[in-house]
Structure 1
Amino acid sequence: MIRVLDLAAFAEMATGLALVVVPSFVGQVLLGEALTGPAIPTARVAGIALIALGVACWRNSGLLGMLIYSAAVTLYLAYFGLTGSAGVLLWPAVAVHAVLSVLLWRSRN
Structure 2
Amino acid sequence: MRYLKKRRFFRDAGEDDDPMSGVANLFDVGLVFIVGLFLALMTVYRIMDFFSETSEITIMKKNKDGRMEIISKKGRAISVERVTDKKIGGEEGVRLGTAYQLKDGRMVYVPDE
Tell me the TM-score normalised to structure 2 length.
Answer: 0.26
Q: Which has the higher helix share?
A: 1
Tell me the TM-score normalised to structure 1 length.
Answer: 0.27
Based on CA coordinates, which of the two structures has the bigger radius of gyration? 2
Higher relative contact order (CA 8 A, sep 6+): 1
